[in-house]
Amino acid sequence: MVSREIIQGIHWVGAIDFDRRIFDELIPLPDGTSYNSYLIQGSEKTALIDTVDPTKEYELISNLVKLNVDRIDYVVVNHAEQDHSGSLPMILEFFPDALVVTNEKCKDLLIAHLHLTANRFRVIRDKETLSLGDRTLEFFLTPWTHWPETQITYLREDRILFPCDLFGSHTGKSDLYVTDEAEIYPSAKRYYAEIMMPFRNSIKGYVEMVKALPLAMIAPSHGPIYRRPQFILDAYADWVSDAVKNEVVIAYVSMHGSTQKMVEHLTDALIARGVTVKPFNLTRTDIGELAKSLVDSATVVIATPTVLFGPHPQVVYATYLANLLKPKVRFASVIGSFGWGGKTVETIVKMLDHVKVEILEPVMVKGLPDEATFQALNRLADDILKKHRESNIV
C-alpha cells in the first residue's frame, strides 16, 4: 500500500485490509476496513497518529521507509485497541527515541495488552497541547468512544481532527477521501450502530464539542477522510438524538413456518397502517444490518419458535446483542409459536434489561396460527401505531 500526502507535511501511512471479513470475531465486515495512521511533520518534531493492526505492521514500516522518515519523536495513541496500537512494539523498536503520547488510562491498558515499558510514555491530560514547532497537537479525552481510555487529537493550524474510532467506517476502499457521501452514509451508520451506539449519551456531548472546533477535515482511523466534516457531524447529531422513526424491526426465526406466517401477517398489518417494517430472518441476515436498523427504529418485535423451553438460540444471540448495543428503541413485543409450553416471553423480556422499552402485549400461539392469532396480531399492529402516534413518531 502506498502512502498518500494529505497536505504538505501530513501523510496517510496506514493500511487497507480489503479482505478482512470479521472484526473482534464479532462484527461482520462486508467491505473490509482500513487502519489509518497519519504522519505529521512539524518544523521541529515529527509525530505519528495511531498505528495499524499488527497483521499490517510491515506495510506501516514500509510506508515510513519509503518517505525516508528516519526519526519519529511522538507516537500519539488515541485508543489502546490492537487494531490501532498493535504495531506499537515494532514502531518503538524501529524508532528507539520515540515516545508514546497518550493519557494515563490508555498508558495502563497499553502496558497490560502490549507489555510496553513505562519509560516510553509521555502522559497527557485533557486539553493539553504538544508543539511540533510550527504545528500544535491538542488532545481531548473522550472516554467511551469505544473503550474507557479513548481520546481524540486536533491539529490546530491545519484544522484537522484525528478522532480514531469515532466518526469512522469499516470500509476498505482505495479512496483516501469520501467521494460519494450517499455511499459512505450506510457504512458509517452501521459502524456507529456496532461500535458507538452503546455510548450514545456520551457521544452527544463529543459531537457538540467537535462542532465548536474550526474544522477543515475529520480524519478517522477507519475508512475515508471527510473533507466536508459537517456531513458526518450532522449524521451523528441525528443518530445520537432522542428522535426515533415510525419503523418496526422484526427479528425472527421460524422452524416449521408458524412463526414465519405470524411475521408475514404482522408485516402486512403494519404496512397497511403506514408503518415502515424491517424484517430480519436471523438464520440468514447480516447481524450488522440488523444493528443498523436499530439505530432509529421506534419498535422492535422479537419473533421466535419455542425450542424445548425457551426462545430459539439464534434469537437469544440477537436479543443479547441488541441489549448490549442499547438502541433508543421505545417499544418491544414478542410473537411466536410453541409446541407444549415454555417461558419464551419471560426469557426475552428479561434479556432486554439495558433497553428502556415499554413491552406491548405479546402474541404466542400453540402450533399453527389461526384466525384468532391473526386478530391478535392486528391488535398488536394497532397498538404499535397508537403508541407511535401518541409519542409523535412520524
Distance CA 51, CA 38 (A): 8
Of the candidate spans 63-71, 76-84, 179-187, 354-362, the one that interacts with ligand FEO by CB under 6 A turns out to be 76-84
Q: Which of 57, 59, 73, 165 binds ligand FEO (CB under 6 A)?
A: 165
Q: Which of 11, 120, 146, 190 binds ligand FEO (CB under 6 A)?
A: 146
Q: C-alpha distances in angstroms, 50 versus 94, 112, 136, 220?
A: 15, 18, 17, 10
Q: Does 81 bind ligand FEO (CB under 6 A)?
A: yes
Residues 6+ apart with CB under 8 A from 225: 6, 12, 36, 176, 177, 178, 217, 218, 219
The residue (of 150 and 319) whose beta carbon lies closer to ligand FEO is: 150
Q: Residue 50 or 247: which CB sits closer to ligand FEO?
A: 50
**Minimum distance of ligand FEO from residue 307's CB (angstroms):** 34
For residues 100 and 151, what is the distance between their CA atoms, to the nearest angstrom?
Answer: 14
Q: Does 83 bind ligand FEO (CB under 6 A)?
A: yes
Q: Is 17 a residue that touches ligand FEO (CB under 6 A)?
A: no
Under rule CB under 6 A, residue 222 binds ligand FEO = yes
Q: Which helix (H) or strand (E) holds 254?
A: none
Shortest CB 23 distance to ligand FEO, Å: 8
Q: State which residue, 168 or 336, has the beta carbon closest to ligand FEO.
A: 168
Tell the smallest beta-carbon distance from residue 358 to ligand FEO (Å): 33
The answer to whether residue 135 forms part of the interface with ligand FEO (CB under 6 A) is: no
DSSP letters of 2-53? --EEEETTEEE--EEETT--EETTTEE-TT-EEE--EEEE-SS-EEEE----
Cα–Cα separations (whole angstroms), residue 122 to 37, 147, 243? 19, 20, 42
# of chain residues touching ligand FEO (CB under 6 A): 7
Residues at the site binding ligand FEO, with contacts judged by CB under 6 A: 79, 81, 83-84, 146, 165, 222
